[in-house]
Structure 1
Amino acid sequence: MQNNTVWGSGGVLVLIVCVLLCIALAVLGTRLYGLKKDAEQERSKCEQILLAFSDAILIINPQGRVEMLNSLAEKLTGWTRQEAVGRAYGEIYNTRGADSDLIAEALEGRSRSRSQVFLMSKGGQEFAISDRVSPLLHDYGQLLGVICTFKAMTRRQTQQARLAQLTFRDSLTGLYNRAFFEQELPRLDQPARWPLSVLVGDLNGLKLTNDVFGHSVGDELLIAVSHAFLEVCRPEDRVFRWGGDEFIVLLPKTGQDEANAIRQRLQGALEGRAVGPITVNLPLGCSTKEHAGQDIRAVWQQAEEEMYWLKTVEHTRFQKETLHGIVKELHGRSVAEKEHAERVSSLAEELGRYLGLANHELRKLRLCGLLHDIGKVRIPEEILNKPGRLSAEEYKKVI
């Protein structure tokens, strides 16, 4: 009987504990449900505030994907909220032509703003906007996401922005020009942006291309180079067309090894590019400023000297390959042209021998005879082989 009493007391005790636990769990569940509802209401309230905000707003999560955008952001980007949520921010907020990626910087904890930048919408329309991008941080400093606020500029502001852009852009290639280089170099030559690397390039064959094919083909060659730079270089890099055939790239926060890797990628992007028979050849020199004891203009000069050394080494080979390509292009159009060039070359050599010229002079004379009609390569084949008289328009193309 005594054992039954003990077990009976224990059973009652267990029952009481279970009841208390159930009550505690029920209270906790109710409390958690209430907190969840409160959180949902707060989130809904915040979203409604953001949606009603007078500026366009984009919210990016820590993984770089769009979490929310309001109606003004939908209008400017061309993306609906349903389409945009979950996509990488670069698809929605397309400012690839900009100097820097502010959202990427905000994901690293930095706030930035711009007074003007151009936004490309989903439909291809371009808007001049001003924007501000800031990280969203937890009380403990943990990154919760990024908020990007932006607004379209007025028509007058847009026109002023385009004029300002033209002031610092090369009209042919769209790269930055020499005037902007002089302004940007001291801005980037600061400890926060060291190591600062410099790439200097000089396009081979531009003068020959202009002389033989005309300046329009030379322009195509320059544009091909600019496209390679824009494909390889990062948003924070600055690419300049310094002069007629010269290019400079400033690479902030980039050491020598990384700069050399970028140079190799550029050479790889340029390899195989050609405009007609002219291949793109751009020797690139590279140098890096690591500390305050180095003068950035001396570093620039070192990169330039390396480039000229490479240009000298490659010059003869490139010139031979280019001339061979031009001759092949011309002679490939007509067997008669090839036979004519070879006949003139032979006659020129005979004349040289008659005049008693030395062997090295005879070689030059043979080459001159072979290339004497090289300018014909820029004339359209249908005009070059036309049997009758040329029209006035055709004659303009010939001269």
Structure 2
Amino acid sequence: MSALSVFLDTPTAIPGENGKLRAAFGMDRQPGKVFLWGDEYLGEDGECFVHPVIRKVILQVVNDPTMTTRYLPPLGLSEFTRSATELALGKGSPAIVQNRTGGVQTLGGIGAVRVGAELLKHWYNEGGSRPWVVYVPAQCDEAVVSTLQETKIKDIHSYPYWDPEKRCLALEEMLHFLESVPEQSIIVLYTSAHCPTGADPTLDQWKQIADVMMRHRLFPFFLLPSQGLCSGDPNEDAASLRYFVSVGFELICAQSFSQNFGLYNERVGNLILVLKDSPTFLSVQSQAEKVVQTLWFRPPCWGARLVTIILNNPALVVEWKEGLRAIAERTMLMREMLKEKLRMLSIPGSWDHLSQQSGLYCCTGLRDDEVEFLVRKQHVYLPSSGNINISTLNHQIVDYVAETIYLAVTKEDPFHKPSTIHL
């Protein structure tokens, strides 16, 4: 046999920006380095937060004598998909009442994006004469974009979302753009907790978006990454999705339970299908089952069981919602603290936008050169877009981060002397 590997010509994969950022942070030997990105919610101690109600239910399940390790069906744990769909749409949703909606258990929210994209690629507008196109926000989680690309969808474009000059949602530009896209195009929308800017439309603005999409027959592909973490109220965070269903849209929604339940490594997701009638829903769901069988065959049970137990126990739901409110309040507190620190340092420009966003993510509005200065000179790591995970801030480092932002923007030391802050 040849001494050379059959994989000799395999190139090394190039990591995305997030991967490069984390690798650079890991190689940095500076004791006071700070990492302001990531997908997990971190507590005040800087560690990944484990919800107390999750700890309680884990002990309950471990000691349950009826626990089994049997395979789940390809569509997943039926009690989980029912409860998850009801959480997103509301138990009184017309789609649920009319038996034209349901879920497919997936490997996290990204798994739901993949299954949804496969369904759209193979079955959306079947027999139609117009080729369809997918539009994603110009600022979008790179994992969502790369997952769509992996399905070999050729026409993936972006639409205006964030206005870097005004530092707010670019609503007028978005609406104008949606007026111009081809009919039957697919529009990827965050119901709330937009990643990576943290800027979400108000319900009145969502109604304007829905009106344009209805008139132009555009198809909504919703992302529901962390229901409840923006406002502390799961119902409020799903209001946009529920409105679209109430006015008659067919849609799909990729729902994740990683952030709002803290089940990051369990990969618990649900793909919600909302169709015009029950027979159509059952047909599309059957195709989703085939897709699942080619991707991961059967989903895991553990995380889905934990979510199901909580959502079907009123007392546990109360505990879970109390935890969500505490997280939402802490993230808003850190936004306010950062804004106030920047104001006290008299950094040029307005920083009011920081407290007008919600959820884990925050668009600071820093320019590329300012971010580069933070990374290279101050060992403060964040993406070139200037977005941060607001939960990475805590009382220990917020002063330091504010002072380094001052240096980045003004290139002057706020105290006219070398920084003496050590973490």
Give the helix-richer structure, 1 or 2: 1
TM-score where L is the length of structure 2? 0.20
Larger of the two Rg values belongs to structure: 1
Q: Which has the higher strand share?
A: 1
Higher relative contact order, chain-length normalized (CA < 8 Å, sep 6+): 2
